[in-house]
Structure 1
Amino acid sequence: MSNAIRGLRRGLIIVVVLLAAGFAWISLSGWLAQDGSDGNGGGGGVNEVSIGGPFTLTDQDGRSVTEKDYAGKLMLVYFGFTSCPDICPTGMQTIAIALDDLGADAEKVTPILVSVDPERDTPEVMKDYVSSFHERMVGLTGTPEQIAAAAKAYRVYYQKVQLPGSSLDYSVDHSGFIYLMGRDGKYLAHFRHNSTPEEIAKKLRASF
């Protein structure tokens, strides 16, 4: 990855974060605090927070996958959707830069975007979207029931919102945490929407 591309990615994050600051979004800070997590890329002990679990979804190549397909590597799990105007691109760019900062160690991490908009996010759409951010990015979608089950396991809020008069017809409000899961699929930490790539890369290195 060239320095020019990395610089462009960093510049895009700054611009998008500034734009996103003007929009309201739903935070799950309350329950994270109650569960003992500080919300800044770390938390209480692994046993104090119940996040994650089994899922069955479809990857960007149309294959049915479960959490077991990603065992043995750290996972960065992010819930969003391809039509998201600001928060999702910011999160995806942040993950991409963190992976670039890891260099060869990025091979030890599987970055995953789980769609909360399965109606529009087909495997083909997900493949085109995630590949534009990083070559290692995995895009997962599924039936509404499968997405609901995965979101429940990760305690992710999402809700369709109608947009009268818009060509998009609707949007999806959703929480914006990035979850760091261990090689065994257990929760290790989470990052907020304003966490920096450097913070994420540092936590990843400490978790290898």
Structure 2
Amino acid sequence: MNRDAMPRLVAIAALFLLAACQVASGPAEEPPLAGAAIGGDFTLTDQHGQTREWKDFRGKYAIVYFGYTFCPDICPTDVQRTAQGLREFRKAHPDLGAKVQQIFISVDPTRDTPQVIGQFVSAFDPKIVGLTGTPEQLKAAGDAFKVYFSKGRDEGGGAYLVDHSAITYLFDPQGKPLATLPTDQGANAVAGELAKWVS
């Protein structure tokens, strides 16, 4: 090879490497829910009977799911997959995992007392915060988080279903929405999504 061509080839290679580094360190992907009007103030009661407000969770990433403890299938599946995915994420990233709080909010104020909520969430992970409240409090929370729910027909003896949205939201430490978690794809997908946004 011509000795005079060597410096030129080295310079060209350096330019390619510089360009590659600039691409790799470019702007991060915009969160899917960035700027969405989801989330807001609420005053509810946790499984220990303590009053909790949305601002109490500032400083942590919050996973928020609205459901009910008597739900026959979707709610327990979603909560279980979220809890398992969060455990996987905590195992892989202990420091980051400590910054994430899973929250379950009831859409069934009649049956979901603090005690019932506590038994439900502790079956999946004792670290989950379970919240309930009056019909008015829960409706206000549902409206703030853009969640729909409606009590179905009572079949007798207090047996009824609650029709509701099944969305698992992830919020940043300032309470701003980031993304939804893919519980329908399993715990590994949940852990992967957390790894994208929790830093």
The answer to whether residue 40 in structure 2 is matched with residue 53 in structure 1 is yes
- Which residue of the partner structure matches residue 63 of structure 1? 50
SS at match of 1:134: coil
Q: Distance in 1 between matches of 2:146 and 2:122?
A: 26
Name 2:98's counterpart in structure 1: 107
* Cα distance between partner residues in 2 of 1:141 and 1:99: 22
Task: Give the distance between the partners of 1:83 and 1:202, measured in 2 at CA.
Answer: 29
For structure 1, the 5+ residue unaligned runs are 1-41
Counterpart of 1:203, as a letter, is E
Q: What stretches of structure 2 of length at least 5 have no aligned partner? A: 1-30
* SS class of match (1:170): coil
Q: Which letter maps to 1:71?
A: R
Q: Could you tell me how far 1:122 is from its partner in structure 2?
A: 0.6
CA contact (8 A) 1:163 1:170 kept: yes
Distance 2:64 2:165 in 1: 12
Residue deviations 1:116-173 (CA, integer Å, cap 9, x gap): 00111011111111000012111000111110000001111101001425x5421101
Q: CA RMSD in A?
A: 1.5
- Work out which of the residue numbers 152, 158, 162 in structure 1 matches 2:149: 158
On the 8 A contact 1:179/1:187 being kept in 2, the answer is yes
1:175 counterpart residue number: 165
Following superposition, the deviation at residue 106 of structure 1 comes to: 2.6
Count how many residue pairs are aligned between Structure 1 and Structure 2: 164
Deviation readout 1:87-108 (Å, 9 max, x if unpaired): 0011011111111111224321
Report the residue type matching 1:162 in the other structure.
R
Q: Is the 8 A contact 1:160 1:172 kept in 2?
A: yes
Cα distance in 2 between the residues matched to 1:176 and 1:191: 11
> Matches of residues 1-208 of structure 1 in structure 2 within 5 Å?
43=32, 46-47=34-35, 49-102=36-89, 103=91, 104=94, 105-165=96-156, 167-207=157-197, 208=199
Larger radius of gyration: 2
Alpha-carbon distance between aligned partners in 2 of 1:157 and 1:195, rounded to the nearest angstrom: 22
Shift in Å, 1:68: 1.3
